[in-house]
Structure 1
Amino acid sequence: MPENPAAVLPAHETAADGDPTMTGPRRLPLGHPEQLAGLRRVPQVEVLPDGALHPGDWELGPWVQDLDGRPTGAAATVAVDNLTAVTLHWAAREQIRSVVTTQLQVNVLRPLPAFDPEDPADRPRLRMRGVPLMHDALGGVARGRLVGDDGTVYVEATGWFQSVPDRSADGAETFVATAALPLEDEERASMAALTAVVPESVPVPRPGERPVVQQTAAPSLRFRPEPRLDNAGAMTHGGIQTMRAVLAAQAALPDRQDYEVQAVEVAFTRPGLGEQVALTRVRHAGRSLRIVEVDLVGLDVATGEPQVGRPSIQAQISFRAADRPRG
């Protein structure tokens, strides 16, 4: 199970110098995956009047664009994974020191606010609002929402977490060094570029062709090993892996331009390491609803073949017929 670096230490404690990218008494940085995916800390974590926690914002930019250049709220998986973990830690700071994400459920409620992906000055932000639901010594669950200035909710999520022994994370030095890397070149990256998709593995869309319901999974998108996407445990960030599953599910639909992500449910079963490949299976291919299952697996070192039966995550992604014109 992937360790969430933002949850290793109590995230409600902010560095003394007010640096919003640093949290906790050991000054653990906001990870490079979170920064690349648009998560932005606020200088001071805020408890809102309704009791919700506001630890940061989600900034929109090219990194929210899918395989065909369309913005999607499903790109918020890194942000909501972090948000729900931070919220749980804030609520359970007397009981829990370290957690791993075990399950994440994300609902995309409406299209994201409009922005110009080519204009670095046009970067709308959605406020992150977290509410703890339950916690005990074994872990807990929290809900997160991404909300516009007018109160409109764009994405909501529920994260489940398991408590683990407090320990020094492997690869912490690399993680800290990577977190300090500049973002200038990568800020213009799409979801596919951000998640290290191998371009040759992306199928060309075939408008008007409905997908065939499958009995067995088939290899789909491939992803390069990319240390900058690791968490403090030297594993691929769970939110990044979830974004990979979303893109793989989209790639499984030949007529994908007519459908948009409705919901994502993912279970984290083992660490994600190195090069990965998505195994996809179309479960339902109706006119208004599509359902795709995705296992994200590593490659066998000796043979280079996908490690079938040993997924790092198991996901189900549902799509709804697009309710807006497609360019």
Structure 2
Amino acid sequence: MPTTTPATRPDPATDPRLNGPRRLPLGRPEQLSGLRRRETVRLTPEGDLHPADWEIGPWTRDLDGRPTGAATCVAVDNLTAVTLHWAAENAMTAVVTTQLQINVLRPLPAFDPADPADRPRLAMLGVPLMHDSLGGAARGLLVDDAGTPYVEATGWFQAVDGIQSAGREAFIERAARPIAEADRDSMATVTAVVAETVPAPRPGERPAVTEDAVEGLRFRHEPALDNPGAMTHGGIQTMRAVLAAQAALPDRQEYDVQAVQVVFARPGLGEQVALTRVRHAGRSLRIVEVELVGMDPGTGAPLAGRPSIQAQVSFRAAQR
């Protein structure tokens, strides 16, 4: 199984996809959700790739205004993809994400939502796990200056040839637009949640476990959230699944996101709605399954049975 070791990994400073004019501009979804690319990609003394940092700010706040490491979905999707390209020495023309797993290890460092200057940063470190002619996997870790880990992620990718970048020019044009603070004042704002579909919390009410899917949050179609292929960014869709799972818990204020596992089944296009199932509602652990589906343009009904992503989000009892 081809891979690379720290001693044989290529120097990122010589990789035109990581440094120099060939780099695609940082996209709107990445900018909105806190990804901050380093001017020069570097290797750590341990041989890990350090291509970017993740800035902590209002865009990390969940449905109830609590910051969560689950807001790193776009960032870790980008980090693990970049790490795979680097390790494979650009042998793959392009890759698409097939699976993303995220573990939230601890609460984020504090910040002042009202102060744009108070934005702590975590280093984004990438470790390639494997690659072959079909694709590969990479691990991401977000750490503070002391090396304390806050978020861990693994991304799996499939190599594709001749991928159509139908939205590349629009992607670049949107990336150059200025961003207002109001554009990223919460995860819900970043992911284009339809506010009227967010249920009010009901403290003390345990959710019902059910086999039937329940229609939950809806999300507007926002072209600014597309990737260069003119499809909704996979990291944005993962963030949507997190919020939809949270909304399925009436007592959500008593639980924090612990882990997210997402499989990308097909492209996400247009308006989306979340179909949720609460699978476990214990005192210390909650498990919610989420499918994101599009809407039938003729009837406006959810296109059940054709999810763009299938996710499982687990929650742990919040520390008091």
Q: TM over 0.5, yes or no?
A: yes
CA contact 2:60–2:186 (8 Å) conserved in 1: yes
2:7 counterpart residue number: none
Worse-matched range after superposition: 271-280 or 187-196: 187-196
Q: What CA distance in whole angstroms lies between the structure 2 residues aligned with 1:220 and 1:321?
A: 22
* Corresponding position of 2:309: 313
* Aligned match of 1:21: none
Structure-1 residue corresponding to 2:65: 69
The verdict on how the C-alpha distance between 1:15 and 1:94 changes in structure 2, with shifts beyond 3 A counting, is: closer
The match for 1:213 among 199, 209, 218 is 209
SS at match of 1:63: helix
1:47 aligns with 2:43: yes
| Shift in Å, 1:184 | 2.4
**Correspondence for 1:129 among 96, 109, 125:** 125
- 1:96 matched to 2:92: yes
Counterparts of 2:233 and 2:29, CA distance in 1: 7
Are 1:230 and 2:226 counterparts?
Answer: yes
The 3-state SS of whatever aligns with 2:172 is helix
Sort the Cα spacing of 1:93 and 1:166 in 2 relative to 1 into closer, same or farther, 3 A. farther
Instruction: Give the secondary-structure state (helix, strand or coil) at the position aligned to 1:233.
Output: coil
**Number of equivalenced pairs:** 306
Q: Equivalents in 2 of 1:46, 1:13: separation in Å?
A: 10
Alignment pair present for 1:112 and 2:108? yes
**Pair 306,45 (structure 1): closer, same or farther in 2 beyond 3 Å:** same
AA aligned opposite 1:158: T
Q: Which SS does the other structure have where 1:240 is aligned?
A: helix
Question: CA separation in 1, counterparts of 2:235 and 2:269?
Answer: 14
Q: In structure 2, what is the equivalent of residue 291 of structure 1?
A: 287
Q: Which residue of 1 aligns with 2:171?
A: 175
Which whole-Å CA distance do the structure 2 matches of 1:71 and 1:142 have between them?
Answer: 26
The alignment status of 1:13 with 2:18, answered yes or no, reads yes
8 A contact 2:183–2:189 mirrored in 1: no
Asked if 1:268 corresponds to 2:268, the answer is no
Q: Distance in 2 between matches of 1:93 and 1:134?
A: 13
3-state SS, counterpart of residue 240 of structure 2 = helix
Q: Distance in 1 between matches of 2:49 and 2:17?
A: 10
Shift of 1:113: 0.4
Which whole-Å deviations, capped at 9, do the CAs of 1:85-129 have from their partners, x for residues lacking one? 000000002421200000000000000001111110100000000
1:129-162 deviation digits (Å, cap 9, x = unpaired): 0000000111000000000011100000000000
Partner deviation per Cα, 1:10-34 (whole Å, 9 max, x = no partner): 7743225xxxxxxxx2x42111000
C-alpha deviation, 1:302, in angstroms: 1.1
Matched, 1:163 2:168: no
Deviation at 1:166, TM superposition (A): 3.5
Matches within 5 A, 1:19-34: 25=22, 27-34=23-30
- After TM superposition, the structure 1 stretch with the greater mean CA deviation from structure 2, 174-183 or 235-244, is 174-183
CA contact under 8 A between 1:45 and 1:53: conserved in structure 2? yes
**CA contact 1:169–1:232 (8 Å) conserved in 2:** yes
- What CA RMSD, in Å, does the superposition of the two structures yield over aligned residues? 1.1
Which letter maps to 2:166?
Answer: D
The answer (yes or no) to whether the contact 1:89–1:97 under 8 Å persists in 2 is no
Q: Kindly provide the amino acid, as one letter, of the partner of residue 296 in structure 2.
A: D
**C-alpha distance in structure 2 between counterparts of 1:116 and 1:13, whole Å:** 32
Q: Distance in 1 between matches of 2:308 and 2:259?
A: 20
The Cα shift of 1:187 comes to 5.3
Asked whether the equivalents of residues 62 and 187 of structure 1 are also in contact (C-alpha less than 8 Å), the reply is no
CA distance in 2, matches of 1:167, 1:249: 32
Matches of 2:16 and 2:103, distance apart in 1: 25
Identity, in percent, stands at 71
Contact 1:36 1:186 (8 Å CA) reproduced: no
CA distance in 2, matches of 1:42, 1:75: 20
Q: Say which SS state the counterpart of residue 241 (structure 2) adopts.
A: helix
Q: Which TM-score applies when normalising by structure 1?
A: 0.92
Q: Classify the secondary structure of the residue corresponding to 2:279.
A: strand
CA distance in structure 1 between the aligned counterparts of 2:183 and 2:31, rounded to whole angstroms: 9
Distance across 2 between alignment mates of 1:218 and 1:124: 37
Alignment-derived partner of residue 152 in structure 1: 148
> Does the 8 A contact of 1:118 with 1:188 survive in 2?
no
Q: What is residue 5 of structure 1 aligned with on the other side? A: none
Distance 1:129 1:320, change over 3 A: same
* Distance in 2, Cα, partners of 1:74 & 1:195: 13
1:185 is displaced (CA, Å) by: 3.4
Structure 1: gaps spanning 5 or more residues: 1-9, 17-24
